[in-house]
Amino acid sequence: MQAFTTLNGLVAPMDRANVDTDAIIPKQFLKSIKRTGYGPFLFDEWRYEDHGEPEMDCTHRPKRNDFVLNQPRFQGAEILITRENFGCGSSREHAPWAILDYGFSCVIAPSFADIFYNNCFKNGILPIVLNDSQMDTLFDACATTEGFSLNIDLIAQTVSLPSGKSLSFEVDDFRKHCLLNGLDDIGLTLTQSDNIRNYEQSRIKQAPWLF
């Protein structure tokens, strides 16, 4: 998993509450357990006029021009701002996979569904919780400023606007440690590889008949 320390990125606004995981990545894409390749299908039903299927070539699919990710000014965005209860619905890990594969590595909202929130950290995405007033500030600035970007500093736990205004956010110390060091569950386990190896060798000596 790629480490997250700081990010200075273009912002895309999704002014919707209760965005569920089926909207983030529709159910037909759950047939695959690969962690990549979902970016073109992120928000598929909102993004395209036709029905998407796995492995489909999205190059010439008809797009909904009014959808935020199809607007030229938001191409290349790395930060998504949205409203409360983002990631609600089913617990599919494909949702953060799709968000990350599209290019977003930070999502900012007033609240997240618990399982989605946890899955973000496990996949290298930083979910930031700000209050409604702070979110309004971000949405207003994004609407009036072409190329609106934010600087995210995980170590300092701040979101900095181009105006110089800085917003602080909370994050669990353990999750922060894992993101800063690029540790998913497997990576975290491997940090104890010497201890695991030593334990296995001791068990071979203690109970050789098991091996």
All structural domains of the chain with their residue ranges: 6-180
Question: Tens digit of pLDDT for each residue in 80-97?
Answer: 999 999 999 998 999 999
Give me the pLDDT at residue 31, please.
86
Measured distance CA(77)–CA(93) in Å, rounded: 21
Give me the pLDDT at residue 9, please.
97
Give me the pLDDT at residue 99, please.
98
Three-class secondary structure of residue 117 per DSSP: helix
Fold adopted by 6-180: Aconitase; domain 4 (3.20.19)
Asked if residues 115 and 91 have their Cβ atoms less than 8 Å apart, the reply is yes
Asked if residues 21 and 41 have their Cβ atoms less than 8 Å apart, the reply is no
Question: Tens digit of pLDDT for each residue in 190-200?
Answer: 777 788 788 88
Asked if residues 169 and 153 have their Cβ atoms less than 8 Å apart, the reply is no
Measured distance CA(195)–CA(91) in Å, rounded: 33
Helices (H), the chain: 21-24, 44-47, 94-102, 114-122, 132-144, 173-180, 185-190, 193-206
Asked if residues 10 and 149 have their Cβ atoms less than 8 Å apart, the reply is yes
pLDDT for 211 beyond 90: no
Question: Tens digit of pLDDT for each residue in 44-80?
Answer: 999 999 999 998 999 999 999 999 999 999 999 999 9
106 or 34, greater pLDDT: 106
* Residue 176 CB coordination number (10 Å): 17
- 124-143 mean pLDDT: 97
Asked if residues 14 and 74 have their Cβ atoms less than 8 Å apart, the reply is no
pLDDT for 169 beyond 90: yes
* Residue 48 CB coordination number (10 Å): 19
**Listed range (45-59, 143-157, 196-210) with the worst mean pLDDT:** 196-210
Give me the pLDDT at residue 130, please.
98
Give me the pLDDT at residue 203, please.
83
**Listed range (29-33, 109-113, 141-145, 174-178) with the worst mean pLDDT:** 29-33
- pTM for the model stands at 0.91
